[in-house]
Amino acid sequence: MANMELTFIAIKLDNVQHGLVGEIIKLLKQKDFYLVAMKFLQASEELLKQDYIDLKDPPFFPGLVKYMNSGPVVAMVWEGQNVVKTGRVMHGETNPADSMPGTIQGDVYIQVGRNIIHGSDSVKSAEKEISLLFKPEELVTYKSCAFDGIYE
If the CB atoms of residues 38 and 112 are measured against Mg ion, the closer one turns out to be 112
Q: Return the number of the residue (107 or 121) whose C-beta is nearest ligand IDP.
A: 121
Q: Which stretch binds Mg ion (CB under 5 A): 74-82, 83-91, 119-127, 136-144?
A: 119-127
Provide, rounded to whole angstroms, the least separation between the CB of residue 16 and Mg ion: 19
* Per annotation, catalytic residue among 68, 118, 126, 133: 118
The partner in contact with residue 104, picked from Mg ion, ligand IDP, none with C-beta cut-offs of 5 to 8 angstroms by kind, is none
Does the active-site annotation cover 18? no
Q: Where are the alpha helices (DSSP H) in 31-82?
A: 45-51, 61-69
Q: CB–CB of 123/5 below 8 Å? A: yes
Among candidate residues 83, 84, 66, the one with its CA nearest the CA of residue 121: 84
Please say which residue, 122 or 141, places its beta carbon nearer to ligand IDP: 122
Element (DSSP H or E) covering residue 124: helix 123-133
Residue from 32, 23, 39 nearest 144 by CA: 32
- By annotation, the residues acting in catalysis are 118
